[in-house]
Structure 1
Amino acid sequence: MFSSWDGLCGIGEVARRAGVSVKTVRFYTDHGLLPEASRSSGGHRRYGPDALERLRLIRSLRTLGLPVATVRRVLDDDDAGRTGGVLEDAVAGQLAEAGSQLAALRWREAALRAVQESPPSERPVRLLLVGAVAAPPNTAPLARFWRAWLPPRMPARSVGAFLDAAVPQPPEDPGPAQVLAFARLYAMVTGPCDGGAPTQPHAHRSAGARESAVLYAGLAEAYDLAAVQMRRGREPHAGEALEGFVDAYARAGDVADTPGFRRALAGRLAADPRIDRYWELTAELISTHADRPEPTPGTAHDWLLAALESEAGMGAAVRRG
């Protein structure tokens, strides 16, 4: 309650008690957020006892970053006696925006460190490399790269599952090396010379929609099983992962799994185009320990192919032909 005879007070007293400027009170009043109770005979604004509490609420909402239009909706909700649905949504939206801004700042900091820590002679090139990537980075170019590589008739669900595995998500708190790895991936898939998708593997080209779904679903399971062995430091060997790997190709081609089929498959896969650099950079991006690279679909494929070649009695020289 104000001490004046009519229980009202002027704009200066409201501003002083709320800890804001007179200009701020006038702004909120002019925008309909803080109603004035009346005007004095001299035309000065007068405010009622509830103005101070309302002004403090407005200031708190604005301090949290809510725009004026959202503040108005929150106040309207409160005036109507509703239980804060607008406020909850507004706070959730601000949290999401703050998280995005923090992610961008963390990425930008790591990018700056990547430039700062490079030898002076390399800084201009590295600056252009990391500067081409948005903060936080966008993985859409990587997804487009793989969509162009996958069989055109592959079911959407299978495409989505493959992209989830093949497109690495940038870490929320990256280090300089991870920023560089993503920047190099980005340059690889968007460059004018090498930006096109790699040639489709010969072992996959004849697959139709159903066969593609069968093949890629089976490969995903085999890669997961191989990854378990790789994290344990196991060398390529026969076992459940290899059986699933071969079975995926046999079922997709509707052929029997025989020793002859396995030898032929090993030969076809060894001769297929390779994109090792993509998987090397992916491992750098997603690995948290430099001495223990995280398996990727590409490295899991190599591990399984080595196991298949060993089982078929083929030398490692065949793989890199």
Structure 2
Amino acid sequence: MWSIGELAEQAGVTVKTVRFYSDRGLLPEAARSSGGHRRYGPDAFERLRLIRSLRTLDLPVPEVGRVLDHGDGLTDALEDAIDGQLRELGSQLTALRWREAALQLVRDCPPEERGDRLRLVGAVSAPPSTVPLARFWRGALPVRLSPRLVSSILDYAVPQPPSDPTPAQVLAFARMYAIATAPCPATDPRRSAGNRTDKVHRPDVLYDGLFDAYMLAAADVKTNRAPKRGQALDCFVAAHAESRGLRDSQEFRRRLSGLLTLAADQMVDRYWELTGELSGAPEPTLGRAQEWLRAALDTDVAAAAG
């Protein structure tokens, strides 16, 4: 049986350290002397060494306690604790990389742009949250759209910020964030997206058809081919027509061209441009596909009229 001083000496720590772990239940005493002093058994030394090793990994004291309490399940509990610490450390490293890239962005920009960039990056947390971006798109989508399609659209429209961004990616995300959190004026088409009166009775039919059209147009968009008639445009128009209970016709295409021109939102178009800048992915965004199909429709309508 060791006294608290003897255990501390054997372990190479202070008496204060042993008392700290004892008071928190991590290092139970085996007995008390007649004078009320703590006494520790032979297993206390190894337990204290384990506690110190776990703390060296920067595990919080409560987490150390949970690992020790598992007994035979020590390995699984330790793996869970380490995984948790690695996730937290990864988040901290991502935050540091975002701050570093943001500082470089502000340092290297022209002096006349510094104030604007400070305002942009200062509004974004590090690591950045995508919650405002998701909220922006949920507000822009029809109320009656199925959860399945809402989830699919958000997967495309809300890109995950890179863990090691360049200054340009930080700027792109900050500008997307500014668009998503900007006040929405009464005249903004996003304000009434769920209650528009252009007779879209079946929004799921519309968005399922749009996804098909986007996929058909992807190759042409990716290679920067000029917008043209074809299967992608026919699918695009059919989605709009069927969702309204109408048939594809040249008259409908003319009307649809006008509706899409009126509904065009420069902020949303800019958001899609920034999405491409942020991801750096070779595949075109849904926004680019939508723009290509709108242009193809306008070309088709103009050709029919001429």
* TM-score of Structure 1 vs Structure 2, range by shorter chain: 0.7 to 0.9
Deviates more, 1:10-19 or 1:178-187: 10-19
Cα RMSD between the aligned structures? 2.9
Percent of paired sites with the same residue = 58
- d(CA) in 2 for partners of 1:195, 1:144: 18
Change (3 A) 1:196 1:170: farther
Deviates more, 1:190-199 or 1:25-34: 190-199
Q: Residues 67 and 74 of structure 2 are in contact (CA less than 8 Å); yes or no, is this contact kept in structure 1?
A: no
The residue that corresponds to 1:319 in the other structure is none
Change (3 A) 1:86 1:195: farther
Cα deviation 1:221-259 (Å, max 9, x = unaligned)? 322332333223333233443232122112212222233
CA-CA distance at 1:216 after TM superposition: 1.0
Residues 1:136 and 2:127 aligned together: yes
- 1:59-98, aligned counterparts within 5 Å? 59-78=52-71, 81-82=72-73, 84-98=75-89
Q: Residues 33 and 39 of structure 2 are in contact (CA less than 8 Å); yes or no, is this contact kept in structure 1?
A: yes
TM-score (norm: length of structure 2): 0.84
Q: Unpaired segments of 5 or more residues in structure 2?
A: none
Q: Residues 145 and 197 of structure 1 are in contact (CA less than 8 Å); yes or no, is this contact kept in structure 2?
A: no
CA-CA distance at 1:194 after TM superposition: 6.1
Question: Secondary structure at 2:70's aligned position in 1?
Answer: helix
- d(CA) in 2 for partners of 1:34, 1:262: 78
Residues 1:237 and 2:228 aligned together: yes
The residue that corresponds to 2:271 in the other structure is 278
Change (3 A) 1:121 1:271: closer
Residues 1:207 and 2:200 aligned together: yes
- d(CA) in 1 for partners of 2:141, 2:99: 33
Change (3 A) 1:237 1:193: closer
The residue that corresponds to 1:260 in the other structure is 251
- d(CA) in 1 for partners of 2:118, 2:187: 24
The residue that corresponds to 1:304 in the other structure is 293
Change (3 A) 1:254 1:153: same
The residue that corresponds to 2:46 in the other structure is 53
Q: 1:127 aligns with which of 118, 135, 139?
A: 118
One-letter code of the match for 2:180?
A: V
- 1:151-300, aligned counterparts within 5 Å? 151-192=142-183, 198-199=189-190, 205-208=198-201, 211-275=202-266, 276-287=269-280, 295-300=284-289
CA-CA distance at 1:99 after TM superposition: 2.1
Whose helix fraction is larger, Structure 1's or Structure 2's? 2
Question: Secondary structure at 1:96's aligned position in 2?
Answer: helix
- d(CA) in 2 for partners of 1:287, 1:187: 20
CA-CA distance at 1:301 after TM superposition: 0.5
One-letter code of the match for 1:212?
A: P
| Aligned residue pair count | 300
Q: Residues 263 and 312 of structure 1 are in contact (CA less than 8 Å); yes or no, is this contact kept in structure 2?
A: yes
Change (3 A) 1:189 1:116: same
One-letter code of the match for 2:299?
A: S
- d(CA) in 1 for partners of 2:65, 2:228: 66
- d(CA) in 1 for partners of 2:111, 2:186: 28
Change (3 A) 1:246 1:17: farther
- d(CA) in 1 for partners of 2:183, 2:241: 37
- d(CA) in 2 for partners of 1:197, 1:173: 35
Change (3 A) 1:69 1:235: same
Q: Residues 189 and 263 of structure 2 are in contact (CA less than 8 Å); yes or no, is this contact kept in structure 1?
A: no
- d(CA) in 2 for partners of 1:229, 1:256: 26
The residue that corresponds to 1:31 in the other structure is 24
CA-CA distance at 1:133 after TM superposition: 0.7
Q: Residues 145 and 196 of structure 1 are in contact (CA less than 8 Å); yes or no, is this contact kept in structure 2?
A: no
Q: Unpaired segments of 5 or more residues in structure 1?
A: 1-7, 316-321
TM-score (norm: length of structure 1): 0.81
Residues 1:115 and 2:106 aligned together: yes
Cα deviation 1:271-316 (Å, max 9, x = unaligned)? 333232222222222226xxx6x5222211011122223333459x
